[in-house]
Structure 1
Amino acid sequence: MANSNFKNAVLAFLAPIPSILFYLSFLNNHSHQNSSTGSFSPLWAWCYHHPLLLANALFFFNVNVLFWVISQVLSNHWMISLYWTVIPVMLVHYYRIHPLADYNWWRSIITILMTWVWSLRIAHNYLRRENWQWSSREDWRFTDMSSQYGKHWWWASFFAIYLSQQVFLIGLCLPIYVIHSVNVPLNIWDFVAIIVCISGIAIAYFADSQLHNFASRNNELKELGKPVVLILDEGLWRYSRHPNYFGEQLWWWGLFIFAWNLGHGWTFVGSFLNTLCLAYVTKLVEQRMLKQDYRAEAYRQYQKTTSVWIPWFKSSATGGKDKKP
């Protein structure tokens, strides 16, 4: 097990190397071209003039194609879940060091620091949930889809998992591209965006930690042969059925505020699609909970009294606010 874990960790670190090497080659050639009279090749010229298209091309070949091939060899799609936490960090640095980048230094640094904090939080939660094992299991939603597609899953997974992830991740990170494309001074809306982003990270962190402690406590009770706690109804989960999803949305909508403030309101599309996706995931999660007979009735009551996403006061099952402290 330890040897397999080490191999998967090495594989995860090596996986993005092709994109990194290609991008460094581009930067090196651009630097050399600027310091000499040599001509810029058509390939490097295209990379220079189309930073957003280049990001999509690198994602397509390195993540969609390479990760998909690896998943076919391993019969497991675990790596894309891990890289959901890494790719935004890679993109924020990619956009910052691209030769066409033009940005306010403070806005860029603040965005980079917050993106790192977001990434470390979500990566920590992912690895903690997997008991610090690399490739211990794939996302249960992928497993469910594999059952639905059957023998066609080997090729359908390319579109259902990898190509769709490109749409979401590149779309969600469009504000990061805008931040490094527009150089104007900070204003009050930047501080609003910062507050929203940090609030989202904090809410998601505490919600995930409370969920992890709940699951760990139930595992201990199972080992002792004692009844488990049916519903997590404490902390943030007392006021929202999915506070972790709420926090995650705040983070991405906070980034959008940066872009909107810079005159690029069209970038809402990424956050909007993510919200629609989380709405669907919320439905799947709740259906999964209701299929567990031993807690189905308790969860139905929880649904009746607790807000879906936005933390709010408890309601009674028959309507009206709960008067209990």
Structure 2
Amino acid sequence: MTSVWTTVAPVVAPAAEAAGFDGGAFGRTLLLTALAVVVVLAVTFAVALRVGKQAVIDVTWGLGFVAIALTAFVTSGGHGDGLRRWLALVLTALWGLRLAGHIFSRSRGKGEDPRYEAMLERADGNPNAYAVLHIYLPQGLIMWFVSLPVQIAMFVEGGIGWVLWLGVVVWAVGFFFESVGDLQLTRFRNDPANKGTVLDTGLWRYTRHPNYFGDASVWTGLFLVAASAWPGVLTILSPAVMVWNLYGGTGKKLLEKDIGDRRPDYADYVRRTSGFFPWPPKPADPSVERD
């Protein structure tokens, strides 16, 4: 992790220092946030062993970002702009705590997630060691890398203008789509009458993944908050990784394959509903039989 900053620092240091950015203090924060990730995942792994399922890491996903933001906020004292620092902390905490609470509520009382079961079945040797290398390590690295805009937002100075407020608006849109989309899906699943059917009302009428679109928007908004002052714009790859993961990685693509195999009428829903960005739906196919 330190190699990332070691590579970038010589390039950005002169301009950053001119803008009042303390590269040395930021580098120390990078190390401490990496340590925070290790601690959070170590506790998560211990809990996973105790309860007998690795799916607890899904709850930790949101909490890990909160731990990073809080660590960066504390270690950046005396640097950056107060407004931006508080925005980065509060917006990250609201997103992470809501997501953790939602996943905890959804998974409480259930067994291991089928995704992790399938992964652990491929383990050669100790399944716990396999989980550390193939579940915890990748998620920890992604968590730390995606959070770079939040970390650097604690140190950058100036630029309290329209880009920062645009970031807050984009974050708010994302938070709305993610939280409302999750709430609508929970209510739909809790109604026995909907068993075997596809949710195509509310936000799910305009996008097949309002929660994933919301997640992508949240991190794009946080990037804009950081990018409103130099050198925050250099963290552009962080939201790009998050958006790619949600759209083409383990998010949308993997989920739709699983649903499509189980629900024949999902194909028509795919045909008439935007895959990611909200958009008015196409007319339903009258030839498709529905329950």
| Both structures adopt the same fold (TM-score exceeding 0.5) | yes
Which residue is 1:208 aligned to?
Answer: 182
Q: What SS is found at the alignment partner of 2:122?
A: helix
Q: Distance in 2 between matches of 1:202 and 1:48?
A: 32
Kindly state the Cα deviation for residue 160 of structure 1 after the two structures are TM-superposed.
Answer: 1.6
CA contact (8 A) 2:36 2:67 kept: no
Q: What SS is found at the alignment partner of 1:304?
A: helix
CA contact (8 A) 2:76 2:154 kept: no
Q: 194, 205, 221: which is aligned to 1:254?
A: 221
CA contact (8 A) 1:91 1:173 kept: yes
Q: Counterparts of 1:142-291 in structure 2 under 5 Å?
A: 142-149=116-123, 151=125, 153-217=127-191, 220-221=192-193, 228=195, 230-263=197-230, 264-278=232-246, 279-280=248-249, 281-291=251-261
TM-score (ref. length: structure 2): 0.80
Kindly state the Cα deviation for residue 159 of structure 1 after the two structures are TM-superposed.
Answer: 1.9
Q: Which has the higher contact order (CA 8 A, sep 6+)?
A: 2
Q: Counterparts of 1:55-134 in structure 2 under 5 Å?
A: 55-60=33-38, 62-68=39-45, 70-72=47-49, 74-98=51-75, 102-130=79-107, 133=108
Percent identity (aligned)? 24
Distance 1:234 1:171, change over 3 A: same
Kindly state the Cα deviation for residue 100 of structure 1 after the two structures are TM-superposed.
Answer: 6.1
Which residue is 1:305 aligned to?
Answer: 272
Which residue is 2:8 aligned to?
Answer: none
CA contact (8 A) 1:175 1:267 kept: yes
* Count of aligned pairs: 259
Kindly state the Cα deviation for residue 101 of structure 1 after the two structures are TM-superposed.
Answer: 5.2
CA contact (8 A) 1:48 1:100 kept: no
Q: Distance in 2 between matches of 1:142 and 1:63?
A: 19
Q: Deviations over 1:24-45 (max 9, x none)?
A: xxxxxxxxxxxxxxxxxxxxxx
Q: Distance in 1 between matches of 2:244 and 2:121?
A: 23
Kindly state the Cα deviation for residue 137 of structure 1 after the two structures are TM-superposed.
Answer: 3.3
Q: Highest Rg: 1 or 2?
A: 1
The unaligned stretches of length 5 or more in structure 1 are 1-45, 222-226, 319-325
The unaligned stretches of length 5 or more in structure 2 are 1-23, 286-291
| Counterpart amino acid of residue 234 in structure 1 | T
